[in-house]
Amino acid sequence: MTRAPDDLREALLDWYAAYGRDLPMRRPDVAPWATLVFEVMSQQTPIPRVQPVWERWMRLWPEPADLAAASPADVLVEWGRLGYPSRALRLRDCAIAIAARPGGRVPADYEELLALPGIGPYTASALASFQFHARLPVLDTNVRRVLARVLDGAQFAPKSAPTRTETARAAALLPVDGADAARWNVAVMEFGALVCTQRSPSCDGCVLRGRCAWATAGFPEAPTRPRGQAWAGTDRQARGRVLAALRGLHEENRASSVPPARPSEEKGRSASPPSQSSEAASATGLSRVPGPAAGQPIGLSREEALRAATLPDADPAQAPRVLASLVADGLVAEDPAGLITLPGRSDAPGERG
């Protein structure tokens, strides 16, 4: 199999050594569990948005057993606004499966990783490569785009999942040593994120320009451009508003249960950012997200949840459909009285599981 020319590999690795971001998620002392959480969080989500959430999760749940013991409600609250919140529940399922393994550790084998709940080929290969130095290609959207441009002369990689041919070609480019292969994978990924971007690639000063088939061909444009998923007016937006309102209730309850600070602690304390509760109230159109009465579960009435799910000028059928989909996906629960809560817990105020 043909390997990447030495000059191509050297140019890219030199660029990475000089310009790669110093991300805490990629430092050598990061544990496999932390890498797993980061890789799941960063799917379809930019790293600047992921980093603060990942750092908080690592403080709260540094081991799989810690997340396994957390309530689904807490997990969804701490997921915040990363989007695609089903990933949070899949991570918890994954943590439960890992905690049940001998030693409670993340497996090193690709096939064992792939057998974990919520772990697909990309995440399994990323973990096996970055943490355990398996000689495997890691094909995220950035890597695929770089290889499509440099080797194939195409503006974009195919929309479909990587084929066996694409995976085999990427594997043939890897250095022989597993640790070197891991660094190569990260370098190509970072290059795609910072230089060879989808919308505005920095081709003028690109260190690979003289070796890039797309540049040599005159930058031919693809017949169609990849499009991001729509948000405004969609069921995703409506679902997010319901979850934001419920998260806001939990945040408000959590804040109200914290004892007031001593005067000496107040001195020099910076102002707190707006709570999710106030932001959720603004987003949903409720005058405020109502807090639970003493001894009552934390949740919204069905009417309040439907109001939160109602977008301006929306089809009247959208809000009930959205609420039903959230229940079906396990992201919210509805009790016989019609109270809508986050799943796995209906705590009284002040409690946290």
- Tens digit of each residue's pLDDT (9 = 90 or more) over 136-155: 999 999 999 999 999 999 99
Q: 8 or 259, which is more confident?
A: 8
- Looking at residue 3, its pLDDT comes to 41
% pLDDT > 90, the chain? 78
pLDDT in tens, 220-264: 999 988 877 788 999 999 999 999 999 999 999 888 775 555 544
* Whether pLDDT at 194 is above 60: yes
Token digits of residue 145: 């785009």
Q: Are 253 and 298 spatial neighbours (Cβ–Cβ below 8 Å)?
A: yes
Poorest-pLDDT segment among 73-77, 124-128, 259-263, 328-332:
259-263
Active-site residue list: 39
- Sole residue written with tokens 């081991």: 63
Q: Are 40 and 87 spatial neighbours (Cβ–Cβ below 8 Å)?
A: yes
- Looking at residue 275, its pLDDT comes to 47
Domains of the chain with CATH codes = 6-216 (1.10.340.30), 235-257+274-341 (no CATH)
Q: Which residues of 307-334 are buried (b: 16+ CB within 10 A; e: fewer)?
A: bbbbbeebeeebbeebbeebeeeebbbb
Q: Give, in order, the Cα–Cα distances in Å from 161 to each of 119, 189, 204.
A: 15, 17, 30
Longest dimension (CA), the chain: 69
